[in-house]
Structure 1
Amino acid sequence: MSGAVARRVAVIVALVGALLFYFVVLGSRGITMIQDGRATSIGLGIGLLILPFLGLWIVVATLRAGLAHQHLAKRIFDEGRELDVYDLPRRPSGRIEREAADTLFAQVKAEWEADPDNWRSSYRLARAYDYAGDRGRARDTMRRAVRLEQLEVRKQ
């Protein structure tokens, strides 16, 4: 594991640990409020007990999605099909210039339209959406790529 990857993993582990600590504290406060016995305290305590479970679900769903995306990224990289964006002009912020991102998107979308049920073309389209700044469609398309890849694996 490279140093940059190790640092990212360490940050993720630290943040998840902090969230778990927060969920435990929040849950214990909820139990304390319920034990108070007054109707208002019981209602608020139940609400406080729900929040850690909701938070835990969000953390697990986010980590699962991130791992699935990393899995696809590794497969695409191993197959030599990752989008080549290194030569594209960039803004001072490091983001790809809009016109270049739109040109890349048009090329990748044409590839996707030719084979929309291939997880590789959906993955590449999701990346192109992201480079073009459309994060919502990028997430939706990446979810589609994950589902298609899982179907492909099951068929094998």
Structure 2
Amino acid sequence: MTARIGVALMAVLLALYIVLVAQRAWLLLISGEPIAIAMGIALVVLPVLAAWALSRELWFGVRAERLGRRLEAEGAVPADQVSVRPSGRVIREDADAVFPAYRADVEENPQDWRAWYRLGVAYDAAGDRRRARAAVRTAIRLESAERRA
């Protein structure tokens, strides 16, 4: 729940940033000065890029959460017991110990979105966020293809 609050707060702050930058861009565009107009054009591009990045990340989060709920409903959530610190973070050595099983599952079933999602969870627990996101993106792509088929 705190992650959702954090995401909502960051989205609101980014939206405020977009509005303020767009206002400044408009003022520069109507100034009539060539350099100010060029700066205004640049300031129009930045909020568009920010809005695109925000929407992409929010959409990723929504789809990843949907897959997690579906996996939970199917009873296919990993049941491995790993130790956690008082802060709630997984102890990396425990995460590293269960990781090979999830990697092997993906190697045996490369078209199974469930295996990819569980691998993403294992990567995340091991602290490798880049690979975790890539694995979850693969899971999302495979699950979407499965639904369409």
Q: Which of 132, 145, 148 in structure 2 is aligned with 1:151? A: 145
Within 5 Å, which residues of 2 pair with 1:31-42?
31-42=26-37
Aligned to 1:94: 88
CA distance in 2, matches of 1:99, 1:29: 50
In structure 2, runs of 5+ residues without a counterpart are none
The 1:25/1:9 distance shift into structure 2, 3 A limit, reads same
In structure 1, runs of 5+ residues without a counterpart are none
Aligned to 2:116: 122
CA distance in 1, matches of 2:126, 2:7: 26
Within 5 Å, which residues of 2 pair with 1:2-151?
5=1, 9=4, 11-85=6-80, 87-151=81-145
Amino acid at match of 1:42: I
TM-score, structure 1 length as denominator?
Answer: 0.87
> Which stretches of structure 1, 4 residues or more, deviate above 4 A after TM superposition?
7-11
Deviation at 1:8, TM superposition (A): 5.3
Cα deviation, 1:35-77, whole Å, max 9, x if unaligned, reads 1111211111111111111111011101100000011000000
TM-score, structure 2 length as denominator?
Answer: 0.91
Task: Tell me how many residue pairs correspond in the alignment.
Answer: 149
Over the aligned positions, Cα root-mean-square deviation in angstroms equals 1.7
CA distance in 2, matches of 1:49, 1:142: 32
